[in-house]
């Protein structure tokens, strides 16, 4: 008789739909949001501001590690002078870092 009573209590508790069933799923989503999604969105916003703020004469480093000075700006592409008289064309989003003025002169 005792085993039947315990079985009935467990079945009644499992049959209750409610907020408590979804609480672990909701908490997991909140943790993922604050640890992964939100920082990634912040980095993407900062990179977009960096790319939009490029000006002629800025010294930049691309994602491939090429350092150069911006000579021409287009909507999708920029021209970089990597050595005297040598220019390459790269996509604007490929710019990773804008260096302080005069950095490339001291590096060469």
Does this model's pTM top 0.75? no
| Among the listed residues 59, 56, 72, 61, the one whose alpha carbon sits nearest the alpha carbon of residue 103 | 59
CA of residue 46 relative to chain centroid, distance = 9
19 — pLDDT class (breaks 50, 70, 90): confident
At 49, which helix (H) or strand (E)? helix 38-52
- pLDDT, tens digit, 9 for 90 and up, residues 21-56: 888 899 999 999 999 999 999 999 999 999 999 999
- Domains in the chain with CATH codes: 2-50 (no CATH), 56-107 (2.30.30.60)
Residue range 70-96: mean pLDDT, rounded: 94
């Amino acid at each position: 008789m005792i085993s039947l009573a315990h079985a009935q209590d467990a079945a009644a508790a499992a049959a209750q739909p409610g907020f408590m069933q979804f609480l672990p799923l909701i908490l997991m989503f909140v943790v993922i949001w604050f640890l992964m999604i939100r920082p990634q969105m912040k980095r993407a916003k900062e990179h977009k501001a960096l790319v939009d703020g490029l000006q002629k004469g800025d010294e930049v480093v691309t994602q491939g590690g090429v350092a150069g000075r911006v000579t021409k700006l287009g909507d999708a592409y920029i021209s970089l002078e990597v050595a005297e008289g040598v220019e390459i064309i790269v996509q604007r989003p490929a710019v990773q870092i804008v260096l302080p003025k005069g950095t490339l002169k001291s590096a060469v």
